[in-house]
Chain A
Amino acid sequence: MISGSPDAIAVKNLVKSYDGKKNAVDDITFSVRHGEIYGLLGKNGAGKSTTIKILTTLIDPTSGSVNVLGYNPEKHPLQIKKRIGVVQQAESFDFTTVENNLKVYATLWEIPREEAKARSEELLELFELTEVRRTRAFELSGGQKKKLQVARELMHDMDILFLDEPTVGMDPIMRRRILDNIGKRAASGMTVLFTTHFLEEADYICDRIAIMSNGKIKVEGTSSELKAKYGGLRTLEITASEDLKQEQVLELKEGLFNANLAQDAVLEGKTVKIIGREITKVLEEVLRFARKYVKNIESINLRDATLDDVFIEVVNNQ
């Protein structure tokens, strides 16, 4: 064990191949400091969950070195597992009531009875599960099941919490409440490794973010660093008074792409959203397009890049 290391997680040249041909994780290197909230973003199949499964000792890496809390997961899995919490992407619960799920978990983690009772009540309240406490877990809705999974994991103390898409199916208020709670725990020293498809969540909670694509980490940094790095990127939204046609927008898109002015152009009903750098030139193109096809312009909106824009640029330009 390496004591006094500033990193709770240290990964170097990690490779994982399931079939010996394609690498699900392809030579990634990153580290997560104690108390940091680190976001792993990427499309489905980017390698995020495989990375988490290696870090949580479920699967062994093909090559590379991994260090979690000073231990090698292959050699000392139990030492790591005693100090981590994991909310897996896949559904997992016991076939009993919501409160029994929490009770069982408390026993498994050796939480004293009174403390377990208090924590259970607090979490049922926090996750708005009080009304369904006597409902069997498999009868819950998708969002409620996910809430139960997160609540159950927070029954015990831990040094690192691994969250693999923990807010799927939850409403925005609950998502924000969970993120705030996790943020509070991180402020008191807990390290968090977080994967999500909701980029605004990562923007809201993560200290640092890595974007993965095809098993590789493409970019890494704070949210503002990434926005600055891919800076200059701005989004122009033009809304017409009536629905636009896809072929018209394709014509605009082609023109922008040929002139290398835009990273993406999307039609959403009456609105065309264009992400690009030289926004004045983009605007000229858009106005030319509007004169040709749009009777009345309802609004033109210009805004700075979001993490979504960074993500799209990074993933599309791999």
Chain B
Amino acid sequence: MKLPASIRLTYRNVLVNMDAGTMVFMLGLPALYLLVLGTMFQSLISGVPVNNQSISYTHFLGPGIVAMQTLTAGNIGGSMLWSDRRWGMFEQLLVGPFKRTDYLLGIMFVAIIFTLGGSFVMFLLSELVSGGFILTPLSISLTICSLVLGTILFSALFLIISSLAKTMQAYNTITIVLFFVLDFASSAFYPINSSSESIVRYLSLGNPLTYVTDIIRTALISTPNFGTLEELGIVIVITAVLFAIARQLYKSIKMGI
């Protein structure tokens, strides 16, 4: 059976990136957040308000950790372009039987695979730690849709950095800073409301991870409403804009110089 070029590249990306370091980054750290940070804070926090109900901290954190997988996988996806450019594989693959679009799709697909796999593991862990998530066709569809959109969004963001960065130091510094800002200035770890510090509140409002987290949290803990649709719309718009920019920058990468 002949596989499409983008699927063959996806296979290559999975095989090449399935190393211990990536797995620790993808699964180990979020699992530690959930199991150590989650249970420790639970003993300090009596309840977290979500959509007019009070839930345990681990119950609150679970969907946040699931949503975080989009950022982690997006980072891995975007870094693939940087790494392939740095180590000569970008040019090597593009003198092979592939179009530039195939390469881009290969990155997006592998990031989505990593997100879905990682999210599933994090969801199971969350179920073990707190349990009580709502699983209906709507909640599952909404969660998967948000995960896929979020992955494309963050992959595009890191692809933009990969396309623009000139040195490895610049790339590493930008991605590390961005990763922590996006991770912690979002609603993944704590609720963002009027009592939050204003700087965190503003940062989280401009942070797409907040919207991805909120949609998934609403889907798995409460009932989706018009606000959920609004947030989904915001994610779609940011994804479209970032993807368009990433595609343009990616197309303009000069080769052979």
Residues of A within 8 A of B (CB): 18, 49-50, 53, 56-59, 77-78, 81-82, 84, 86, 88, 90-96, 100, 103-104, 107-110
Contacts and interface: CB of A to CB of B under 8 A. Distances in A.
A108 B96 contact: yes
A88 B88 contact: yes
B176 interface: no
Contact of B12 (A77, A88, A94): A94
B198 interface: no
A104 B16 contact: yes
Contacts of B3: 110
Contacts of A90: 88, 91
A92 B91 CA distance: 9
B107 to A, nearest CB: 14
Contact of A86 (B87, B89, B95, B98): B95
B94 interface: yes
A92 B8 contact: no
Interface string B1-36: 011000011011001100100000000000000000
B97 interface: yes
B83 interface: yes
Given A18-B257, A104-B16, A107-B12, A95 B88 contact: no
B255 interface: yes
Contact of B95 (A57, A103, A110): A57
Nearest to A110: B2
Contact of B97 (A50, A81, A94): A81
Contact of B16 (A53, A57, A77, A95): A95
B187 to A, nearest CB: 35
B87 A58 contact: no
Nearest to B9: A108
Given A59-B255, A107-B12, 7 more contacts: A18-B257, A53-B255, A81-B95, A92-B91, A92-B92, A95-B16, A96-B19
A103 B88 CA distance: 18
B99 interface: yes
Contacts of A81: 95-98
